[in-house]
Amino acid sequence: MPGLSPVAADRFRRFVLPGLAFKAVVIGGGYATGREIAEFFLPAGPWGGLAAMLLATAIWAVVAAATFHLAHRIGARDYRSFFQALLGRGWIAFEAAYAVFLVLILAVFGAAAGAIAAATLGAPPFVGTLALMAGIVACVARGNAGVERMFVWVSVLLYATYAAFLLLALTGVGDRIAGAFASAAPPAASGAWVLGGITYAGYNIVGAVIVLPVTRHFRSGRDAVVAGLVAAPLAMLPALLFFVSMTAFLPDIAGAVLPSDYILVRLGHPAFHLLFQAMILAALLESGSGAVHAINERIAHASGGRIVLRPATRAWIAVALLVPCMLIAERIGLVTLIASGYRALAWLLILLYVLPLLLTVAFRAVRPAALPETPR
């Protein structure tokens, strides 16, 4: 890592880089624009939304730590190898679910990029979609090293921009934020916030297996567990800052297609408005690159070395994935994609991934010698 000593750079790659990669996968599309936050957290109110976020963070931490640790023990560096060990012949079920997930999130990314281009530049939506596709292709063509560098630099931009966003919100509408929390009831006893937190965590936690290529720097199981526990708050922190700002504009903001744009227009800082929209595009770029890179690594490992993924090959695979997936974005709106697709997918991924993983961890706690093996 530029500017770090060799020891610090090594620790960064082992403990922080996996978390930045995990954040990169979960932040794209609706999270970056605020649409996912409006869908899953705002209905529970200010305090209920915060409770749901903390619950989702706890779920991410446990599952990411378990995933990284198991993957390190069995030497899995791509999702196919991991699920062959975890599910045996049932790994194909996850492959099918992941295909649905990939189509959905890439469509959401394309829709978000198109909406931003239209809202910010007045350009046709397909301009933003094509620009995002070109950026993803350029990033993934460089392989692991290029994708990892992109995770780091986009993260610097992202955390700084969200911090500035919260500062502007506090100085501009801080009294409304305080009023929203002061007048809000505590989390409902009905547990609606629990469902929101579990659902949101359920489909996003698949990011822990998508980013397995960057866990190649682990030296021990301890590294894997620490990285997993760190990944959860790194991924949720920007959403938390965003959510606090959004409470000032309840209830109208709940129906906004681009909640970020809704807030920025009312805060009245045109220059920062453009910077924030550029940051969202960068977040979409790292999210899309992470998802497509996982497919490249899956192909490379499954081929047993027979297929050499040179930059041109990686680029063409990316194009083949992005063109059909992102064309869906022109036919279905962003709100519809998130509301109708993510909830069903969340429970499917919990069934195929989270429950088998936690059962495997519990079984190993009772019988330490029992450990799935990665198929040769």
Contact of 66 with 358, CB cutoff 8 Å: yes
Total domain count, the chain: 1
Contact of 153 with 17, CB cutoff 8 Å: no
The answer to the question of residue 212 being in a domain is yes
The answer to the question of residue 372 being in a domain is no
Whichever domain contains 250, its CATH number is 1.20.1740.10
The answer to the question of residue 36 being in a domain is yes
Helices (H), the chain: 6-11, 17-27, 30-33, 35-40, 45-74, 79-87, 91-121, 125-140, 143-183, 192-204, 207-210, 221-246, 259-267, 270-302, 311-327, 334-337, 343-349, 355-366
DSSP string, 11-42: HIIIIIHHHHHHHHHHHTTHHHHTHHHHHHTG
Q: How confident is the model over 199-224, as a mean pLDDT? A: 90
Per-residue pLDDT at 232? 95
Place of tokens 């409770």: 51
What are the Cα distances from residue 268, in Å, to 25, 165, 168, 173, 264?
Answer: 30, 12, 10, 11, 6
pLDDT tens, 330-372? 566 555 655 566 677 778 888 999 999 999 888 776 665 555 5
- What angle in degrees, to the nearest 10, is found between the helix axes of 17-27 and 270-302? 110
Look at residue 272 and tell me whether its pLDDT is greater than 60: yes
Phi, psi at 336, each rounded to 5°: -65, -45
Running DSSP on this structure, what letter comes out for residue 89? G
Rounded Cα–Cα distance for residues 39 and 208 (Å): 22
Rounded Cα–Cα distance for residues 269 and 275 (Å): 10
Tokens coding 206: 């698949």
Tokens coding 196: 């929101």
Average pLDDT, the chain: 85
pLDDT tens, 71-106? 999 999 888 899 999 998 889 998 888 888 888 888
4 or 200: which leads in pLDDT: 200
Tokens coding 157: 């931009």
Residue 112, helix vs strand vs coil: helix
Place of tokens 């190649």: 216
Per-residue pLDDT at 27? 84
Per-residue pLDDT at 329? 54
Distance of CA 280 to the CA centre of its chain: 13
Helices (H), 303-375: 311-327, 334-337, 343-349, 355-366
Per-residue pLDDT at 57? 96
Look at residue 185 and tell me whether its pLDDT is greater than 90: no
Per-residue pLDDT at 143? 84
Give percent above pLDDT 70 in the chain.
89
Rounded Cα–Cα distance for residues 276 and 282 (Å): 10
Host domain of residue 40: 12-359
pLDDT tens, 37-57? 988 899 989 999 999 999 999
Per-residue pLDDT at 296? 87
Rounded to two decimals, what is the model's pTM? 0.86
Phi-psi label, residue 184: left if phi above 0, alpha if psi -120 to 50, beta otherwise: beta
Look at residue 238 and tell me whether its pLDDT is greater than 70: yes
Contact of 327 with 177, CB cutoff 8 Å: no
Rounded Cα–Cα distance for residues 251 and 118 (Å): 24
Q: How confident is the model over 11-26, as a mean pLDDT? A: 91
Per-residue pLDDT at 331? 65
Q: How confident is the model over 172-179, as a mean pLDDT? A: 93
- What angle in degrees, to the nearest 10, is found between the helix axes of 270-302 and 259-267? 160
Place of tokens 């969200």: 162
pLDDT tens, 309-336? 788 889 999 999 898 888 765 566 555 6
Rounded Cα–Cα distance for residues 299 and 277 (Å): 33
305 or 295: which leads in pLDDT: 295
The answer to the question of residue 4 being in a domain is no
Look at residue 152 and tell me whether its pLDDT is greater than 80: yes
Look at residue 183 and tell me whether its pLDDT is greater than 80: yes
Tokens coding 11: 């620790």
Q: How confident is the model over 129-141, as a mean pLDDT? A: 92
The answer to the question of residue 6 being in a domain is no
232 or 375: which leads in pLDDT: 232
Residue 143, helix vs strand vs coil: helix
The answer to the question of residue 355 being in a domain is yes
Look at residue 376 and tell me whether its pLDDT is greater than 50: no
The answer to the question of residue 197 being in a domain is yes
Tokens coding 119: 């809202």
Per-residue pLDDT at 234? 94
Per-residue pLDDT at 372? 58
The answer to the question of residue 375 being in a domain is no
The letter for the amino acid at 231 is: A
Q: How confident is the model over 221-236, as a mean pLDDT? A: 95
